[in-house]
Amino acid sequence: MSFDFPVSLASLPPGGAGRLVAIHGGRGQALRLRRLGLRPGALVRIVAAGGWGGPVLVEVDGCRVAVGRGLARHILVEPLNPPGVTRGHGTR
């Protein structure tokens, strides 16, 4: 398993996975996300991304959480590279 440079959760494509690095923004929201398993170190997978700037559907610890697009931009993840693929730089 190898991880790429951190990007925002909102920029991961559906099916993409990664390891959560940090949550920026309000303390209350950060605690709420933690309660649902979205905490630094957690492995996350994007199940779907909503249309019209809609939320991203994240799978974490075997359960699914919808996170608004704006909030997802404040969550940093290290994308998990598929085995055998290495990239020297971030996805952007």
Distance, CA of 47 to CA of 50 (rounded, Å): 10
Distance, CA of 84 to CA of 62 (rounded, Å): 26
- Select from 89, 55, 59 the least CA-distant residue to 72: 55
Q: Which of 3, 24, 70, 82 binds other proteins (CB under 8 A)?
A: 70
List binders of other proteins among 6-35 (CB under 8 A).
26-35
Binding status of residue 44 toward other proteins by CB under 8 A? no
Which CB atom, from 28 or from 84, has the smaller least distance to other proteins?
Answer: 28
Binding site for other proteins (CB under 8 A): 26-37, 39, 47-55, 57, 61-72
